[in-house]
Structure 1
Amino acid sequence: MAAQAIIASEAVSFRRCYGPEFIAQAVRDWINAVGAKTAYIEPGSPWENGYCESFNARLRDELLNGEIFYSLKEAQILIEQWRKHYNTKRPHSALGYLPPAPETIVRMDQSPVMH
């Protein structure tokens, strides 16, 4: 497994919120299996996990604060649409104002027609 090779060659740790209630058992098992360490964030210290805190702020500001969800399905659909926009179209300043995973594949039914 590639992850095990990387972890074996370097001291790797996963930074996460304090306490086991914030991580799935499957993830804890994987961290143990590959021999990585867990670096906990101190309670009340969100700056120790800036990437997650920034993502959560964008999600709140760009979607959650402006919506009232009338059903779980509506919430799932709108959040998925926002996630796709965030990853494929929205500019990210840390990436030179490019999206992290730009859409590069044009579906055949959407390809331009040459006349």
Structure 2
Amino acid sequence: MKKNNGFTLIEVMVAASILLTFISLLIPAVSLLKTEKQILSDRRMVTFELHDQLQPFIWQTTRLKRDKYSIKVNTLPVEITISTEKEYLKGCAYWKNAKQRQEKICLYGLLQ
């Protein structure tokens, strides 16, 4: 009877190829998740900032026709436009996300 104390070369090569295949599939997925996390984080921060920018216009008594300016949110250049539409105040933010695609978020407020 033969004594087997280890793995054969073919078993090691199959295990290594499975491991390398798994790693080669995992690296792009992790990179994509990191990019999407950054996009969602930027979107959340821009929405919070747009909300804060709209508050003074909602609570003031004088009405504006249109306002447009640029700000930075976490080093991200964002263009904000604020306008009135009937009894609503409309604020929109425009920026380029981590994938260099144009994004837009609009918030509406009821004027007092």
Please state which band the TM-score falls in when normalised by the shorter chain.
Answer: under 0.3
State TM-score, norm by structure 2.
Answer: 0.26
* Structure with the greater alpha carbon radius of gyration: 2
State TM-score, norm by structure 1.
Answer: 0.25
Higher strand share: 2
